[in-house]
Structure 1
Amino acid sequence: MRPGIALIGLRVCLLAGLWIICTGGPAWTATTERIVVNRFTGVAIEGFDPVAYFVTGTAVQGRAEFEANLWGAVWRFRNEGNRASFLAHPEIYGPQFGGYDPADIARGVTVAGNPRFFAIVAQRLYLFSREANRDAFAANPERFLYEVGKRWPALQEQLSQ
């Protein structure tokens, strides 16, 4: 092998590794759990307040002083009222499918959703790995949810193993 080709291959590998680290790839998020959490801190949805999506319509970072532990995850909230609302109705305020992207689930894979790409449909919170997935889902949520309904039980079973 020529030295120039080996050097190019090394650079490609280094850039790929840096991309995974810098984009919060697999090193930062546990994707073998029923709830997407940071594998080092146990914090769900990157510390964003799940209730704030409903109250403000935006992604709002929660605060460490307003935490709750539920479903094996640490949830953060903007204030005590949001924390209390979540604990009273976690099935409403928690992200559907544990924070996994429903567009990817419909394709048969589990990919952690990014809390910055979200949609609220029929009073439920959905997180998406990419903006394009969110937009496709928002255009026809019934189609995606039908496919998710067929695939989610088996995928969820795999996550719990």
Structure 2
Amino acid sequence: MTAQRQERNGWRPGLAFIALAGLAAMADLVAARAATTERVVVDRTTGLALGGFDPVAYFTESRAMAGRPGLEVSEAGAVWRFRNEGNRAFFVRHPEIYGPQFGGYDPIELTRGVAYAGDPRFWLISGQRLFLFGRTETRDAFAADPARFAREAGRRWPGVQETLAR
């Protein structure tokens, strides 16, 4: 490559580095949007629990389904969205059943004493309760022995809750 071409093209590696650094910063910002200082995991910018997914749909549809903005309920310091009136009514009557266990924090991480926000896309229903996980690996580990991990997370949860904001 000629010296003139090197001068003309020399900025490209620097631009690529800046772009990658910007993408990494954005990924950290997205990860930080889920508040880990709350007793229920909520999106800091919207106040939504479960990223706007309907908590009852995990049980009735066996999948994560987006709730509607017009069908909302405030409960436990979070805004919950629902796909229909029936799901909203079920939740209002029994938020302890349909809301995620441990406020939506990953139970595998709780067994280590860490409050790690679960992702509503990584979920599992066990013992008629909804559990959220931060990664597929922790969901798979939990699925291998749900009773043991739920029991251990339940034992650690009160101590972890004390570290979270009220």
Alignment match of 1:66 (pick from 51, 65, 71): 71
The amino acid across from 1:138 in the alignment is A
Show the counterpart of 1:128: 133
Q: How does 1:17-56 map to 2 (within 5 A)?
A: 17-21=25-29, 24-26=30-32, 28-56=33-61
TM-score by structure 2 length? 0.85
Distance 1:108 1:13 in 2: 31
Show the counterpart of 2:142: 137
Runs of 4+ in 1 over 2 A off after TM superposition: 10-16
Where 1:43 maps in the other structure, the secondary structure is: coil
Q: Unaligned stretches of 5+ in structure 2?
A: 1-13
Show the counterpart of 1:3: none
Deviation at 1:133, TM superposition (A): 0.7
Distance 1:18 1:88 in 2: 39
Distance 2:23 2:163 in 1: 31
Show the counterpart of 2:121: 116
Distance 2:21 2:155 in 1: 37
TM-score by structure 1 length? 0.87
Q: Unaligned stretches of 5+ in structure 1?
A: 1-6
Show the counterpart of 1:75: 80
Matched, 1:94 2:99: yes
Deviations 1:28-66 (A, max 9, x none): 111100000011111111000000000010000000011
The amino acid across from 1:31 in the alignment is T
Distance 1:62 1:99 in 2: 17
Where 1:29 maps in the other structure, the secondary structure is: coil
Where 2:54 maps in the other structure, the secondary structure is: coil
Deviation at 1:149, TM superposition (A): 2.5
Where 2:163 maps in the other structure, the secondary structure is: helix
Say which one has the larger Rg: 2
Deviation at 1:19, TM superposition (A): 2.6
Where 1:38 maps in the other structure, the secondary structure is: coil
Q: Percent identity?
A: 57
Where 2:154 maps in the other structure, the secondary structure is: helix
Distance 1:158 1:135 in 2: 27
Distance 1:98 1:73 in 2: 10
